[in-house]
Amino acid sequence: MSRARSRHTRAAIAAAALGAVGLVAGVAWAGVSYASSPHLGAATPGAGGWTRERAPKLSIDVGNGERISTYDVWIDGERVDENASLQGDRILVTGVPLKDGRHTVKVRAKGNGMFAGDLHRSWTFSVDTKVPKLRLQTPIDGYIRWNAVTLQGVTEPGAQVTADAGEKTARTTARDDGLFTVELDVPDGTYPLAITSRDRAGNSTRTTGQLRVDATSPQVTFARTGVVKVARPRLDATVADTSSTKTTVTLDNRRFRLGTRPAAPLAEGVHWLRVTATDAAGNTTSRTGRILVDSTERLGKAVLWAGARGKDVKAFQHRLVDMKLLPKPRATGIYNAATIRAVKTFQSDRAMPVDGIAGVDTIGAMTTRIVIDQSSHTLTLYRAGQKPVSFGVAVGQSAYPTPIGTGSVIVKVVDPTWVPPDSDWAKGALPIPPGPDNPLGTRWIGLSWPSVGIHGTNDPASIGYSVSHGCIRMAIPDVERLFEMVYVGTSVTITA
């Protein structure tokens, strides 16, 4: 290689190296100049944002604002430079009144310096100065029956809805049609309720009231159940609930008032006290208490019905056994289904009301017996556990004899009217009302034989003779006494 060429090559290499250095320096300088150039940043209110100010304060961040030489601002196409100012790194726009609705802001700025140029930014936001409407559709003027409370209403579309009840809070966003639903899990009780609707611009409205929640049925607790030893026990129960309650009470399906005693003695046996409580929210509880009355062991002192037990029941069952209405092994001392069937048979045979209950008449009829001996003109009353009682009577004459056999008492009448029977001896006679001339006296005890009964007489001299037309006559004081000691259904045996 020649020396001249060598020098040229070295010069070229040197020039290239120098150029490379200059290029690097230029890039570095250009980078510094670009980083320090102005630029437009975030805006307030931002794109798609909302404000509730009628003349909102608008701002846009400016990077390196000191390098801005000029700027212009338009709102909805109208220039508002006189309301705009460059303050540090922000362009501020104030004092421009705007109507509710969407608005468009455009900013154009020009920077100075080697790399400066035109800067542009455009965005939209909305003004909303009106408070949102708010209407709660769920009625809260009464009690709500669920702890999971659902509240529905209407407000401004997109509004944030907050429900506060006591310490419970729930939030939701209204749908595009303005409907909203919030759910609160609230224990039983009464709480101040506040529903707040806040729209996207920050306007808010509130409605308040009371939220009353009762999701629990009333509690009913009986004060007394099981076996009681008195015929008129005081019966009570407590009803507990967080709201007021309406209570219905029945004792054996009849209305009853808690905390009182039955108006009449209760039959020995099982009774049912039923309490139905309904609270203000509509929750209902029904409970039935079983009460077994065992008030006496003496037969005849109390009515007996299903469930009764004791010595008096056993004595009654033995009478049924004697009458061949109940097998002896069934005399258990408990008024059971077999006893009820036997009593119904007895009542049916005696033309009594058939209910299977051993009431006063049934027990009396079963434990008393009348025997009339025509030959001795006597009537004898037999009663369980007491001495027999005998009375003088008059019986039928031979033309109109008193029937013979076994029957029963079917009716008892105080101060009867005598009605002429369908018989030859009474033809043409007229009814005789109660009084001294009445041939029946003051009492009539009708028997199961047609037109035959035991009665008083206005002819006491006939007692002891066979002179009647088939009936059994008694002195008035005697028949009045007998009347109180016998029952419908009492057995009557008449012998010759």
Give the catalytic positions in this structure.
455, 471
Amino acid residing at 268: E
β-strand pairing of 453-456 with 443-447? antiparallel
129 Cβ contact list (under 8 Å, min separation 6) = 52, 53, 54, 100, 201, 203
Give 127-162 as a DSSP string: E--SPPPEEE-S--SSEES-SEEEEEEEESTT-EEE
* Tokens encoding 385: 């556990």
Please answer whether residues 376 and 355 qualify as being in contact, where contact means their C-beta atoms are separated by less than 8 angstroms: no
Cα dihedral value 414, 415, 420, 422, nearest 10: 0
For the record, the structure tokens of 336 come out as 């059971």
Handedness of CA 369, 370, 373, 376 (dihedral sign): positive
Sequence-ordered list of residues with C-beta below 8 angstroms from that of 59, at least 6 positions apart, any chain: 43, 44, 90, 91, 92, 93
Burial grade of 343 (CB within 10 A; 0-12, 13-18, 19 or more): buried
The secondary structure element, H or E, covering residue 13 is: helix 3-35
For residues 278 and 218, is the Cβ–Cβ distance under 8 A? yes
**Beta strand segments in 156-235, E:** 160-165, 168-173, 179-185, 189-198, 204-213, 219-222, 226-228
Distance CA 273, CA 158 (A): 57
HSE, side-chain direction, 13 A CA sphere, residue 370? 31
Q: Report d(CA 201, CA 152) in Å as an integer.
A: 23
The three-state secondary structure class of 209 is strand
CA distance from start to end of the chain? 182
Q: Which residue has the tokens 């009542």?
A: 347
Would you state the structure tokens that stand for residue 127, as one six-digit string? Answer: 């003004």
Query: Is the Cβ–Cβ distance between 111 and 119 less than 8 Å?
Result: yes
What is each CA distance from 236 to 227, 245, 255, in whole angstroms? Answer: 15, 16, 14
How far is 73 from 88, CA to CA, in rounded Å? 17
Q: How far apart are CA 289 and CA 201, in angstroms?
A: 63
Handedness of CA 325, 331, 335, 338 (dihedral sign): negative
Instruction: List beta partners, residue 101.
Output: 127
